[in-house]
Structure formats: structure tokens, C-alpha cells
Amino acid sequence: MIRFLPVVLLLLLLNGCSNPDADEGFVSLFNGHNLDGWVGDTNGYLVQDGVLTARVPEPGESLGNLYTAGEYANFILRFQFRLTPGANNGLGIRAPLKGNAAYEGIELQILENTHERWANLKPWQYHGSAYGIAPAKRGFQRPPGQWNRQQVTVDGRRIEVVLNGNVILDIDLDEVTKDGTLDGQDHPGLTRARGHIGFLGHGDEVAFRNIEIKTLP
């Protein structure tokens, strides 16, 4: 029995059985072919080869946000994103379909941190930050053109953002706003318990893929 134990362990590892619950409960939000399950400005995003891309507007064109058709309260969201130089987008959570998602919901920044156009931003405006609420750590983003991995956990009043395996934001909403918000603005979205998840385009090309969610109690 002892002689065969290493072989058994190797087979378990090769077949992924050493952690059988690794992907349990995750479902895809994006099928890689079309925008089924998404609402909002579906004209502002293109789908090609399994990639969802926020496109650059034509002159005089105004583009909006893209939201999940369903609402979510507590969840783990994971996805990959690829930035162009200086690109700006956002991840809306617990957001309504109307109004500014950064205030009526919560916006987690998606931003190409190193570009000169963003040299003078407030700390809470950089990638992974809860916009106007709490700053994220910097230094873990891959260069433009490369894919990044991000996981966002929203559980009650806690929000955690993990970028390329590094925790860049881990906050309790009540704790970080007990003396008011960092931007001094009203954020009624802080009281929302559920809402839509959205990509909040700002007219820059940003690509997304492998978008999956796991709902939590």
C-alpha cells in the first residue's frame, strides 16, 4: 500500500482531484459568441473570438455601459482584461441600470495606471480602487497589451480585489466611510444590497474574457 501511494497521489494531481472544489459554483457570464445575458449599450461592445471588447466611439457618438441582465448581491467574480495604453473603464457592482454607477452603485476602477495622462489622479482613482471611497495598491498590473487576471469578492459589506494573484483592495465599506467618503460626494450606492454588474466604458478600447461568477449566500 505504501509502495503505491506516490502513484495514487500523482494520478490525483494529474486529474485535478487534489482540489475538486476549485471551480465549484462558478458559472459563465459571457458565452464568447454574443451578448446574450447582457443589457444596456450592447452596441458599444464587440464580440470576437471569445473576447468582449469595449470599442472606441465614432466622432459624435456617445456610448454607455454594459450590464448583466440579472442582479447579484454577494458573489465572487473573476475575469481577464487587456488594456490599451492609457485606457479607462470600470467595473460596476450592485448598480442600477439608470444613473451614474460610480455613485448609484459602486465602481471599481479599471485603468491603465502607468500612462502619463493619469499622472495626477487621486489615489482612489487608480486601478482596483473603489471610486471615491478607497484606494487600491499599485504595482501589480501587467503592461498594456498583456492579459491580467482579476478576482473580485463582494460579501456583505466587504470588498476584496485580487489582481494577478495579489490583494490590492480589501475593505469594509462601513469602516472606510465612517468619517465620510474620500471624494466628499454622496454615494447612495453604498446602501444597496444588490444590483447589476457592469462594464463602465469611457471611450477607450478594453478587452475582457473568461468572465465567471459564483454567488455567495
Would you say the pTM of this structure is higher than 0.85? yes
Is the model more confident about 202 or about 172? Answer: 172
Q: 158: helix, coil or strand?
A: strand
Nearest to 211 by CA among 157, 155, 147, 165: 147
Cβ partners under 8 Å of residue 58, min gap 6: none
- Lowest-confidence region among 54-68, 93-107, 147-161: 54-68
What's the pLDDT at 155? Answer: 98
Residue 98 pLDDT greater than 80, yes or no:
yes
Residue 100 dihedral angles phi and psi, to the nearest 5°? -80, 115
What's the pLDDT at 6? Answer: 53
Query: Which tens digits make up the pLDDT trace of 100-123?
Result: 999 999 999 999 999 999 999 999
Is the model more confident about 20 or about 86? Answer: 86
* Averaged pLDDT of the chain: 91
What's the pLDDT at 38? Answer: 98
Is the model more confident about 153 or about 61? Answer: 153
- Please report the beta strands in the chain, taking only residues with DSSP state E, as ranges in sequence order: 27-28, 38-40, 45-48, 51-54, 66-68, 75-83, 88-95, 106-111, 147-155, 158-163, 166-172, 196-199, 206-215
Domains of the chain as residue ranges with CATH? 25-215 (2.60.120.560)
